[in-house]
Amino acid sequence: MGKFNGSAMLLQVEATPGGGTYGTIGGSTQHTLAINNEEVDVSDKDSSNWGETLAGAGNRSVVVTMNGWASDNANFAILEAIVESDASNLNYKLLYGDSKTITGAFHVSNFQYTGNRNEGQGFSCTFTSSGTPTFA
């Protein structure tokens, strides 16, 4: 079974909302993708003390975390501007694995700048899906 190169995982932002053109956010060193399926507990006295869940009833979300080096890249500037204004969700695309993508509206729920002596200025952020993303 083949393996996938971790550096091939890219997070892109839609440069102009609704424009359909995506550009890679510069300076990325690490991404994490989580697909969450919340369970709904429907256990009752007839469950014989075993937990029962209702499939497909809970909230679903995609959460992406990203670490990297702060950059003067134009796409990183788009990310900074949306964080500073918290005005709306933007469309992002995550490319991973063997040509798989997740595209959709995401809210930047956390953004941090980091800095250490003798290192470049870094950042970390968390994106949470808003609405139904497209898996391709």
Domain boundaries, the chain: 6-40+52-131
Q: What mean pLDDT is reported for the chain?
A: 89
Nearest Cα residue to 63 out of 21, 23, 29, 107: 107
**Fold designation for 6-40+52-131:** Thrombin, subunit H (2.40.10)
H helix or E strand, kind and range, residue 81: helix 74-85
In the structure encoding, which two tokens stand for residue 133, read together? Answer: 């993303």
pLDDT of 130 > 90? The answer is: yes
Length of the chain: 136
* Rounded distance between C-alpha atoms, residue 14 and residue 35, angstroms: 21
pLDDT, tens digit (0-9, with 9 covering 90-100), for 49-95: 899 998 888 999 999 999 988 888 888 888 889 899 887 789 999 99
The confidence score (pLDDT) of residue 1 equals 66
Q: What are phi and psi of 110, to 5 degrees?
A: -155, 135
